[in-house]
Amino acid sequence: MKSSSRSVPSLPWIPLLLVLAALALRWVKLGVDGMTLLPNFAPWMALAFTGTLVFPRGSMPWWAWPALLMGVDFAAMGAQMWSLADGRAEVFLTYGLYAGAAWWAGQMRGKVNIVQTLLGVIACGVAFYVVTNALCWWVKPYYTKDLAGFVQAMTTGLPAFAPTWTFFRNSLLSDLGFSALLLAAYNVEAKVRSVPVIHWVSTPA
């Protein structure tokens, strides 16, 4: 009698090591006071979006990525994670946006090329920036609740801090760089294993 169980696709090990290194860096940056290691490196949207794309559906479901980020944050900060920035509303919104990006990527597994993947992570990064900064504009009393205050929140931010657009630039560059690294690592391993690679512009039939 034949077994009806289906084999689980194997994990791509090189991308997995990169993901584990990025998660370890997130833990260190959050859990160690005064940590300045790679201060502008924040490829968390790349983990949620591109990470979902390069790992097989059976081995890493889309919801695993926001769960991993939440688990690392809780391990690093404990219950303090709920009081960061503008409180629980922003924390839940942040993980919700990661989950949305991972879900979207999960729908596109095996259907997109490298260029489309990079455009997708840019779109997710823009959405993350606009939505989280809109919440910041709405809840912080320092911003006027009009168009001028909204534009300030999206560009220059508060006078005592670096302009908000620089955080957007840094996170976008980090996400693009880490996405490219994940895609390159996946293709290198795919060639070694003789499995289909992700092409630059063509998509699977």
Residue range 89-120, pLDDT digits in tens: 788 899 999 999 999 999 999 899 999 999 99
Using only the alpha carbons of the chain, give its radius of gyration. 19
SS (H, E, C) 27-69: HHHHHCCCCCCCCCCCCHHHHHHHHHHHCCCCCCCCCHHHHHH
Task: Name the region of 32 (left: φ>0; alpha: ψ -120 to 50; beta: rest).
Answer: beta
Res 79: pLDDT: 77
| Residue of higher predicted confidence among 51 and 2 | 51
Torsion sign (Cα): 98, 100, 103, 104: negative
Model confidence, pTM? 0.87
Q: Please report which residue ranges of the chain form alpha helices under DSSP H.
A: 13-31, 44-54, 64-77, 88-107, 114-139, 147-154, 164-193
Task: Find, among 95, 134, 117, 139, the residue nearest to 49 by Cα.
Answer: 117
Residue 8: how many CB atoms within 10 A of its CB? 10
Distances (CA, A) of 46 to 64, 171, 197: 14, 10, 19
Residue range 165-202, pLDDT digits in tens: 999 999 999 999 999 999 999 999 999 988 889 999 97
Domain residue spans of the chain: 15-21+42-193
